[in-house]
Chain A
Amino acid sequence: EAQVTQNPRYLITVTGKKLTVTCSQNMNHEYMSWYRQDPGLGLRQIYYSMNVEVTDKGDVPEGYKVSRKEKRNFPLILESPSPNQTSLYFCASSRQGLDYGYTFGSGTRLTVV
């Protein structure tokens, strides 16, 4: 089944403790992206990657890192999480071109206390 898989689905952590949210897609998509969804703010892009070893900042990159060493994986790294990073995170992927939009993962709900 074609899908984007995020792990974990739920995570509660403490301020300053490094964490990684994994994202993997099995569709051989070139393009991958991370979004966060917050009440009243909709979906905002954190980082995106157009292909292996090519990443760039989205609209809200502060406090996040990403890497794209392989085509299928695009982990989101929070080096020192803070409470304002409590949010619902979505990973997405697409082939080149937007005819079929993005395929999103099921989301990771992160709480930083």
Chain B
Amino acid sequence: DQQVKQNSPSLSVQEGRISILNCDYTNSMFDYFLWYKKYPAEGPTFLISISSIKDKNEDGRFTVFLNKSAKHLSLHIVPSQPGDSAVYFCAASEEYSGAGSYQLTFGKGTKLSVIP
């Protein structure tokens, strides 16, 4: 059973517009969420994260919103740039599990294409 879902395999956006990438989760124990960006032939790179005690976290052009009641988070990129074209993975963790582990459960990814 997939606990982290990214239902849109791909998204195309015009340069300068807003990109919105969505992620849903089913495990109510998840309390820390991250977004990763992945270019071809490279490993994923950490982009932004949010704890469940917040509903928004912002870092430059990137903002992550968390709606705990809906078990939904989204990544907004404003304005979108051609260099943002990549696969974006949503990930979740039970940060304060009893074992103290920091396992991440990833979604399947959304391929963003920003058209010049």
Contact = CB atoms under 8 A, between A and B. Distances in A.
Interface of A: 4, 31, 33, 35, 40-45, 48, 50, 56, 58-59, 90, 92, 94, 96-107
13 contacts: A4-B43, A33-B103, A41-B108, A42-B6, A42-B108, A44-B106, A50-B100, A90-B43, A98-B32, A98-B104, A101-B49, A104-B44, A105-B43
B44 A99 contact: no
A99 B49 contact: yes
B106 A42 contact: yes
Nearest to A91: B43
B44 A43 contact: yes
A107 B41 contact: yes
A86 B56 CA distance: 39
B107 A42 contact: yes
B102 A94 contact: yes
Contacts of B99: 50
Given A103-B46, A104-B45, A107-B41, A97 B108 contact: no
Given A43-B89, A101-B34, A101-B36, 11 more contacts: A4-B43, A31-B102, A33-B104, A44-B106, A45-B105, A90-B43, A97-B95, A98-B95, A104-B44, A105-B43, A106-B43
